């Protein structure tokens, strides 16, 4: 009888997992397999799957520009990730330590770039950081008697960190704010009674209690940034100069869709995506082990 109930339970659980399993297979596994298969062909505008084996991967390894794309990807992911997490944490701490209404308004305003159309947001940021005298910042600097600064030509990486960071930090800000608000006030009150400063409370109580949320945001945003190129494309498009900000995923886009018929090198573009897929899988395993994400999923760490 017990065995029959156990089988019935397994059957019901299996049925409940079918929809999620189908979604994962159709929208994640199948595209990943097709991308890897595509990278083994010279598929182009003719849409003929001609098998070339590892020739595309050999070209990827021997191409002198590959190191530039890899280096740019590391800079872009590391810099934007640091900005996203750091700014998101700072905003969460500030907005949860002021009046609740003002804090909510502050978080809502910082969320505007995320809900704004991408093209409009990119246009506004290009106007603010324009290297021309008519740009917003340069207009202010000239009004103060200074010299215009070629922002996007001289400081293109900080510019991209800010452009992407203003979007990405709102995600961490919301998660960190929720986590901070969930901390029992007894801990904070007890620390204040013992004479702890606000900085000590943040360092010794708040940050340790939201470490799981920080770990999740770091892992999630790292994997997201590997496949992120939207605002690089809309603002600098890999420039200025020779591949100055061309990351791997943007190069894949340019190879596949950069120019009408002149590109459409889908097979070679798929190599970049396949390499990023492997890097993402490796980083997922590393984060899983280092951040002990299994414990995060096993049981809640905060009341």
Tell me the average pLDDT across 56-69.
93
Give the CA dihedral 259, 262, 266, 267, nearest 10 degrees: -150
pLDDT of residue 45: 83
Q: Is 191 helix (H, G, I), strand (E, B) or coil?
A: helix
pLDDT of residue 299: 61
Q: Is the predicted pLDDT of residue 38 greater than 90, yes or no?
A: yes
Q: How far is the C-alpha of 113 from the C-alpha of 109, rounded, in Å? A: 8
Note the Cα 107 to chain centre separation in Å: 19
pLDDT band at 170 (very low <50, low <70, confident <90, very high): confident
Q: Is the predicted pLDDT of residue 1 greater than 70, yes or no?
A: no
Tell me the average pLDDT across 120-149.
91
> Between helices 156-181 and 118-128, what is the axis angle to 10°?
120
pLDDT of residue 99: 85
- N-terminal to C-terminal alpha carbon distance within the chain: 38
Q: Is the predicted pLDDT of residue 47 greater than 60, yes or no?
A: yes
The domains found in the chain, sorted by start residue, are 34-297 (1.10.3720.10)
For residue 118, give every residue at least 6 positions away whose Cβ sits within 8 Å of its Cβ, in sequence order, or none: 230, 231, 234
Q: Is 41 helix (H, G, I), strand (E, B) or coil?
A: strand
Tens digits of residue pLDDT in 20-35:
999 999 998 999 999 9
Tell me the average pLDDT across 122-137.
92
| Percent share of the chain, pLDDT over 70 | 95
Average pLDDT across the chain, whole number: 88
pLDDT of residue 134: 87
């Amino acid at each position: 009888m017990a065995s029959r109930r156990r089988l019935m339970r397994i059957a019901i659980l299996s049925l409940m997992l079918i929809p999620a399993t189908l979604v994962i297979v159709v929208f994640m596994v199948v595209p990943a397999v097709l991308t890897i298969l595509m990278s083994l062909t010279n598929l182009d505008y003719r849409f003929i799957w001609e098998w070339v084996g590892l020739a595309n991967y050999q070209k990827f390894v021997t191409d002198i520009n590959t190191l530039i794309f890899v280096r740019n990807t590391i800079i872009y992911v590391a810099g934007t990730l640091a900005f996203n997490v750091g700014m998101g944490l700072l905003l969460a701490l500030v907005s949860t330590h002021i009046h609740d209404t003002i804090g909510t308004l502050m978080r809502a305003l910082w969320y505007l770039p995320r809900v704004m159309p991408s093209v409009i947001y990119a246009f506004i940021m290009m106007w603010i950081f324009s290297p021309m005298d008519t740009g917003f910042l340069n207009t202010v600097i000239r009004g103060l008697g200074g010299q215009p600064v070629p922002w996007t030509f001289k400081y293109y990486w900080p510019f991209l960190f800010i452009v992407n960071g203003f979007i990405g930090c709102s995600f961490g800000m919301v998660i960190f704010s929720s986590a901070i608000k969930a901390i029992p006030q007894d801990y904070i009150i007890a620390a204040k009674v013992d004479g702890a400063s606000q900085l000590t409370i943040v360092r010794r109580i708040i940050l340790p209690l939201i470490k799981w949320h920080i770990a999740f945001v770091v892992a999630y945003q790292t994997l997201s940034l590997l496949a992120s190129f939207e605002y690089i494309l809309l603002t600098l498009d890999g420039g200025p100069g020779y591949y100055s900000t061309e990351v791997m995923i943007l190069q894949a886009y340019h190879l596949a869709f950069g120019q009408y018929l002149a590109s459409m090198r889908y097979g070679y573009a798929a190599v970049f995506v396949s390499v990023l897929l492997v890097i993402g899988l490796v980083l997922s395993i590393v984060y899983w082990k280092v951040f002990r994400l299994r414990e995060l999923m096993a049981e809640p760490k905060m009341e």
